[in-house]
């Protein structure tokens, strides 16, 4: 089955700790995206990558970091510099903007900072 997987589903961390959220896709998509969702708000873009070994900041990149060493994987690290990290994090992928803008989402990871 082709799709996007995110792990873990729920994640708890203590203040001051870095944590890495996993995102893997087997859709052979070129582009991948990370979003943050807070209650009552739309999705806000954190980082995106259109090709391996390249990524760009989104609207709310401060306190986050990413890597794109493989086409299938786009992990997101929430650093201790992120002031309010408790949120629902969503990963998405796209075939490549030249092929259309439809993004397909993973099931999400809910991060709670204790």
Partner 1 sequence: GQQLNQSPQSMFIQEGEDVSMNCTSSSIFNTWLWYKQDPGEGPVLLIALYKAGELTSNGRLTAQFGITRKDSFLNISASIPSDVGIYFCAGSFLSGNTGKLIFGQGTTLQVKP
Instruction: Write out the residues near partner 1 by the rule CB under 8 A.
Output: 4, 6, 31, 33, 40-45, 48, 50, 56, 58-59, 88, 90, 92, 94, 96-98, 100-108, 110
Torsion of the alpha carbons at 64, 70, 72 and 77, rounded to the nearest 10: -20
Nearest to 78 by CA among 18, 10, 13, 34: 18
* Residue number, 33 or 82, with CB nearest to partner 1: 33
ω into residue 8 within 30 of 0, thus cis?
A: yes
CB of 106 to partner 1, least distance (A): 5
* Residue number, 43 or 79, with CB nearest to partner 1: 43
CB of 16 to partner 1, least distance (A): 27
């Amino acid at each position: 089955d082709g799709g996007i997987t995110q792990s873990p589903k729920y994640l708890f961390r203590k203040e001051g700790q870095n944590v890495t959220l996993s995102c893997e896709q087997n859709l052979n998509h070129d582009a991948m995206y990370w979003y943050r969702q807070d209650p009552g708000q739309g999705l806000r873009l954190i980082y995106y990558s259109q090709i391996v070994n390249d990524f760009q900041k989104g609207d709310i990149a401060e306190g986050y970091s990413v890597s794109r060493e493989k086409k299938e994987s786009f992990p997101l690290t929430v650093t201790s510099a992120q002031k309010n990290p408790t949120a629902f994090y969503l990963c998405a992928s796209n075939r490549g903007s030249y092929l259309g803008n439809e993004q397909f989402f993973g099931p999400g990871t809910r991060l709670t900072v204790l």
